[in-house]
Amino acid sequence: MDRDAFVGYVRSQGWGVVASLGDDGGPQAAFLAVAATHTGELVFDARSTSRKVANLARDPRVAVTVGGTDGTTVQCEGVADVPAGADRERCAAAYVAAFPQFAGSLADDGIVLLRVTLAWARYGDFRDGRSVMTEVDVTGWGPSGD
């Protein structure tokens, strides 16, 4: 799976689980809308008062699984941040393109836009009794990957 296929996959699925580490080191997960930028970053929003925002501010390591309903998934690990300036505009555009119904929330001061730059990813296909796992080379993906 190359970057274009990865981006297309995330955009076709739209939803996933984001897992972060709580202040006690325990895992915390949330099911939410996940978009992808053309450079292979994952983008989602969250309430500024949510556990995930506090967790990722303290420890930006994150795991994200996208898909699952059709028997395929992409499992990802990376580092989350709050993009600013042109990066925020680019990430927000990708998010709004995927979820136009949430466009208004990005103007809300109580909502934070988060970006995940990938360090590792794996595609899984479990349809029809298969169990095929394929590592995805994410080298060079992210904000400088134009």
**Annotated domain spans of the chain:** 3-127
Task: Output the pLDDT for position 32.
Answer: 96
Say if residue 17's pLDDT is above 70. yes
Q: What is the pLDDT of residues 92-132, one digit of tens each?
A: 999 999 999 999 999 999 999 999 999 999 999 999 988 99
- Compute the mean pLDDT over every residue in the chain, rounded to the nearest whole number: 96
Q: What is the pLDDT of residues 44-102, one digit of tens each?
A: 999 999 999 999 999 999 999 999 899 999 999 999 999 999 999 999 999 999 999 99
CATH for the stretch 3-127 = 2.30.110.10
- Length of the chain, in residues: 146
Say if residue 145's pLDDT is above 70. no
Q: Exposure of 84 by Cβ count < 10 A (0-12 exposed, 13-18 middle, 19+ buried)?
A: exposed
Q: pLDDT band for position 146 (50/70/90)?
A: low
Task: Output the pLDDT for position 143.
Answer: 87
Residue type, 82: V
| pTM of the predicted protein model | 0.95
